[in-house]
Copies of this chain bind each other. A is one copy, B any other.
Amino acid sequence: MQLGMVGLGRMGAGMSRRLAHGGVQVIGFDVSDQARAALDEPGTTVVDDLAAVVQALDPPRTVWIMLPAGPITVGTAHQIAALLDPGDLVVDGGNAYYRDSKALAADLAEQGLRYADVGVSGGVWGLREGFGLMVGGEDDVVAQLRPALEALAPTPDTGWVHCGAVGSGHFTKMVHNGIEYGLMQSYAEGLALMAKKDEYDLDLAAITEAWRYGTVIRSWLLDLLAGSLSRDAQLTDIEPVVADSGEGRWTVTEGIDLGVPLPVITSALNARFSSQGNAAYSDKLLAVLRNDFGGHAVQSHPDS
């Protein structure tokens, strides 16, 4: 199998290497000179523009886009579409909103192009351990993609799933990430409680390491936490600010649309908003109100 990989960042580069290891010939491109130069894997060929990607592939072509979701992905998809022939396949492996994926698929279909949305999990560890893949698209599209999916997954028959029609891959990945928000917050809260329990002076690195084996809460995220805490349990160099990339917001929005209560995932998302500083104004209001009605002291801002 041949496959064009557009976007050779952390995810795209690791996936290109794993595809090449699995016998899939990869034609790679990235707008960054540095990213292009960094991909030196046997079985991959890096080219200088999108037209060269298309030229290097035999029809029906498969071009996998692995770029940040949103305008960059959509714009690139349309650029590629202009170069492709009817029957060629565009794959979006980014963390796109599934409604955008459906709209993009419809646009591409007007040009006779086929489309698949693939949610990809595994991050920087995927190269070694294999990626989790959630695929949306028609059966024949998935059949065409199958050698690539089998190469990317941990093993050919584990870790990838054809979820359903176009959009269902990104929908499933969205929910996967919403669940991830809740899981991460659960561990973080429990460990923060232990860190505050001065009575016991608990060794969080030793405890999380022990929890990895035999307990009900063992998981891959716990493996990562144990590693981080073993290096510095105080997390001295880390600011307590947690970004969010959209998947959590979309999951909570979907819960509202479908009327499904998501109290924990919503709480986890709100905790991230607070960490970003967006609870500060409401906290100021609460402080000043306590002062107004009860004369309770307020803390003055250090710059005032």
Contacts and interface: CB of A to CB of B under 8 A. Distances in A.
A-side interface mostly: helix
A158 B229 CA distance: 17
A82 interface: no
A216 B134 contact: no
Interface stretch (A20-28, A30-38, A56-64, A120-128): A120-128
A251 B121 contact: no
A76 interface: no
Nearest to A270: B263
Contacts of A209: 161
Contacts of A255: 189, 193
A190 B171 CA distance: 11
A194 B175 contact: yes
B185 A264 contact: yes
A132 B268 contact: no
A129 B214 contact: yes
B214 A121 contact: yes
A130 B216 CA distance: 11
Given A134-B207, A153-B214, A218-B220, A179 B190 contact: yes
**Residue among A164, A213, A220 having the largest count of chain B Cβ atoms under 10 Å:** A213
Given A165-B200, A263-B189, A213 B132 contact: yes
A191 B176 CA distance: 9
B258 A210 contact: no
A260 B193 contact: yes
Interface in A153-176: 153-155, 158-161, 163-165, 167-168, 171-172, 175-176
